[in-house]
């Protein structure tokens, strides 16, 4: 789709060249993300800027990744679409560096273990942005109507459950 997108990136070199990488990946190309989704269609858009802070000796990656993904609603078990928008703020460091030098809310990206794959970076950020359990808004949820009914009946006679309990307790006591 974009033959000029590199597979492996060298963040510090990109930063020194003042580069920004932007493009798209098909979600079906990202298998670890795909296995968490209801269907693997669609695209992820990304835009990443590479900047160098020579004083701190850190390369920063900032930008945004977005994608529309489909997951199963854990309340009604129907598919739902989620619009993911992940702000990216990464500090590229090696293992020997103390994490505390990173600014607040900046996440570490370790570059010494393995080369940085651009697609893995995009995929990892999207996986982190997925909710642990996806659910429709109550008004849009198939199960919402049912839950509202239950809530309504509880509201109308909140003590009926208690009354039944007390009655059973009394009967049990009489039997003793």
Cα 176 to the center of its chain, rounded Å: 57
* Main-chain dihedrals φ then ψ at residue 56, nearest 5 degrees: -80, -15
71 in contact with Zn ion (CB under 5 A): no
Among 73, 116, 118, 122, binds Zn ion (CB under 5 A): 73
Token duo for residue 21: 């990488």
Among 44, 76, 122, 134, binds Zn ion (CB under 5 A): 76
- For Zn ion, give the closer residue by CB, 90 or 141: 141
- For Zn ion, give the closer residue by CB, 44 or 76: 76
Of 54-62, 71-79, 85-93, 161-169, the segment contacting Zn ion by CB under 5 A is 71-79
For residue 64, give Cα distances in angstroms to 70, 72, 84, 86, 125: 20, 25, 10, 6, 10
Q: What does the H/E/C string look like for 112-133?
A: CCCCEEHHHHHHHHHHHHCCCC
Among 75, 116, 122, 126, binds Zn ion (CB under 5 A): 75
- For Zn ion, give the closer residue by CB, 67 or 76: 76
Return the SS3 of 57.
coil
User: Which residues from 129-168 bind Zn ion, rule CB under 5 A?
Assistant: 136, 141
The Cα–Cα gap between 153 and 167 comes to 20
Return the SS3 of 86.
strand
Residues 90-129 as x/- pattern, contact with Zn ion by CB under 5 A: ----------------------------------------
Q: How far is the CB of 10 from Zn ion (least distance, A)?
A: 44
Residues in contact with Zn ion by CB under 5 A are: 73, 75-76, 136, 141
């Amino acid at each position: 789709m974009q033959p000029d997108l590199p597979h492996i990136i060298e963040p510090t070199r990109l930063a020194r060249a003042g580069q920004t990488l932007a493009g798209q990946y098909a979600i079906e190309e990202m298998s670890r993300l795909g296995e968490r989704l209801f269907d693997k269609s669609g695209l992820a858009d990304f835009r990443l800027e590479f900047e160098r802070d020579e004083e701190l000796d850190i390369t920063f990656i900032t930008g945004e990744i977005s994608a529309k993904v489909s997951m199963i609603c854990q309340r009604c078990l129907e598919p739902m679409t989620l619009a993911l928008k992940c702000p990216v703020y990464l500090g590229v460091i090696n293992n020997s560096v103390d994490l505390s030098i990173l600014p607040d809310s900046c996440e570490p990206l370790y570059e010494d273990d393995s080369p940085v794959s651009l697609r893995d970076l995009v995929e990892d950020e999207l996986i982190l942005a997925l909710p642990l359990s996806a659910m429709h808004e109550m008004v849009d949820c198939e199960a919402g109507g049912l839950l509202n009914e239950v809530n309504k009946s509880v509201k109308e006679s909140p003590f009926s459950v208690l009354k039944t309990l007390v009655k059973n307790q009394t009967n049990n006591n009489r039997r003793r």
